[in-house]
């Protein structure tokens, strides 16, 4: 059967969207002025699309679960502990770790924009950047959590941490009880991104 | 339980805009807290008309904030950008489909 190319047959190139054109104009101007290097743009995109993501944070959490000294150091001075693992730099200059316990659940938001610990979790998901989450996480955290499928007992405290451009937070989720004896590599696999933002609990897949 | 995987950036221009901003910050044109303030207030004003979903509309607010921020800093003026945007539109309209689109 002949391949119908009518849909793909354009006399000229498809025009990108208006914002895409505005970004192109901005990039062209900044390159022309010598203010940016196109290679560094590609390198940054590649880094966040392929290299940095929640797997970094998951490694930290698993390490804290198996090594009490590391956990203590992380809670005391997360920025220094993370730097010792090579997890510092861009938007990770000042990180505070907060630990979930039987009595307290922590969750993180940025009410201003979308401040987030990039070296540990990468680029935030859309819902973290949405108006709904940014406004409601502080106002009605339990309701928001329940929409994420996290139902906490009445007596448990919920603490909401508002990130800023200066301080970003990492939630240390509770280690599931039925993971005794698990290796660090096995633990890394069950630590989800959302559990480190505090909108999920870590559960062992059945 | 894992949340379903989603692309890091939904659109290429989101990624380009993000990377441009990071590069300018690291080039010393502004501090990240200064940028966050600007962006935060733009997000707030965009969010008055409708609730932003954190996708395209989030990055549209980002783009508006960066353009006005850079204009204020004297780094990129609106008329300079308009000329380049028109040049890109012209290039897309006159380049045969499949050929690389370039401007002078």
pLDDT digits (tens, 9 = 90+) for A174-194: 999 999 999 999 999 999 999
B1 confidence band (pLDDT: 50, 70, 90): very low
Higher pLDDT, A165 or A101: A101
Q: Which of B12, B70, B103 sits opposite A28 (nearest CB)?
A: B103
Helix, strand, coil percentages, rounded to 5, for chain B: 65, 0, 35
Where along chain A do its domains lie? 19-50, 52-197
Higher pLDDT, B100 or A201: A201
Quote the CA–CA distance of A126 and B102 in Å, as a whole number: 32
What ipTM is given for this predicted complex?
0.92
Please state the rounded mean pLDDT for residues A37-64: 95
Contact A38, B84 (CB under 8 A): no
Task: Provide, rounded to the nearest whole percent, the portion of chain B with pLDDT above 70.
Answer: 95
Please state the rounded mean pLDDT for residues A101-111: 97
Chain A hits for B92, CB-CB cut-off 8 Å, are 12-16
CB atoms under 10 Å from CB of A200, counted, come to 22
Given this model, what pLDDT does residue B96 score? 86
Poorest-confidence range of A54-58, A68-72, B4-8? B4-8
Please state the rounded mean pLDDT for residues B40-52: 91
Contact A94, A115 (CB under 8 A): no
Chosen CATH of A52-197 out of 3.40.50.720, 3.90.330.10, 3.50.50.60, 3.30.420.140: 3.90.330.10
Q: Which of B10, B84, B94 sits opposite A28 (nearest CB)?
A: B84
Please state the rounded mean pLDDT for residues B58-84: 95
- What is the enclosing helix (H) or strand (E) of A160? strand A157-162
pLDDT at B30 over 80: yes
If contacts are CB pairs under 8 Å, which of residues 18-77 in chain B contact chain A?
18-20, 22-24, 26-27, 29, 32-33, 35-37, 39-40, 43, 47, 51-56, 58-60, 63, 66-67, 70, 75-76
Given this model, what pLDDT does residue A8 score? 53
Q: What is the DSSP secondary structure assignment for residue B24, as one 8-state letter?
A: H
A96: which strand partners?
A: A169
pLDDT at B3 over 70: no
Scanning the structure block, which residue is given the tokens 């924009």?
A: A113
pLDDT digits (tens, 9 = 90+) for A133-168: 999 999 999 999 999 999 999 999 999 999 998 899
A156 contact partners, CB below 8 Å, separation of at least 6: A102, A103, A104, A105
pLDDT digits (tens, 9 = 90+) for A7-49: 455 667 789 999 999 999 999 999 999 999 999 999 999 999 9
Quote the CA–CA distance of B96 and B103 in Å, as a whole number: 14
CB-based contact, B84 to chain A, within 8 Å? yes
Please list the active-site residues of A: 110, 113-115
pLDDT digits (tens, 9 = 90+) for A69-93: 999 999 999 999 999 999 988 888 8
Please state the rounded mean pLDDT for residues B18-35: 94
Q: Which of A13, A30, A192 sits opposite B2 (nearest CB)?
A: A192
Where along chain B do its domains lie? 12-73, 78-104
Please state the rounded mean pLDDT for residues B13-42: 95
């Amino acid at each position: 059967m002949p391949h119908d190319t009518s849909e793909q047959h354009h006399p000229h190139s498809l025009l990108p969207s208006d914002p895409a054109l505005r970004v192109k104009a901005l990039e062209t101007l900044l390159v022309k002025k010598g203010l940016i290097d196109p290679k560094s743009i590609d390198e940054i995109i590649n880094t966040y699309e392929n290299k940095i993501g929640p797997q970094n944070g998951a490694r930290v959490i698993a390490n804290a679960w198996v090594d009490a000294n590391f956990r203590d150091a992380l809670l005391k001075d997360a920025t220094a502990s993370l730097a010792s693992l090579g997890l510092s730099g861009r938007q990770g200059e000042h990180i505070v770790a907060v630990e979930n316990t039987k009595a307290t659940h922590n969750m993180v938001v940025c009410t201003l924009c979308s401040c987030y610990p990039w070296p540990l979790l990468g680029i935030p998901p859309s819902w973290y950047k949405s108006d709904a989450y940014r406004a409601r996480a502080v106002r009605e955290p339990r309701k928001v959590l329940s929409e994420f499928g996290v139902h906490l007992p009445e007596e448990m405290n919920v603490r909401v941490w508002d990130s800023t451009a200066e301080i970003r937070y990492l939630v240390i989720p509770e280690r599931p009880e039925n993971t005794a004896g698990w290796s660090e590599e096995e633990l890394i696999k069950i630590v989800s991104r959302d559990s480190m933002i505090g909108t999920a609990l870590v559960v062992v897949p059945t | 339980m894992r949340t379903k995987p989603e692309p890091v950036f939904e659109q290429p221009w989101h990624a380009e805009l993000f990377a441009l901003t990071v590069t300018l910050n690291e080039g010393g044109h502004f501090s990240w807290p200064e940028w966050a303030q600007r962006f935060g207030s733009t997000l707030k004003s965009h969010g008055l008309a409708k609730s932003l979903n954190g996708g395209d509309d989030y990055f549209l607010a980002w783009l508006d904030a960066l353009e006005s921020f850079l204009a204020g800093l004297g780094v990129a003026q609106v008329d300079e950008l308009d000329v380049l945007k028109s040049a890109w539109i012209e290039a897309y309209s006159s380049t045969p489909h499949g050929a690389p689109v370039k401007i002078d």
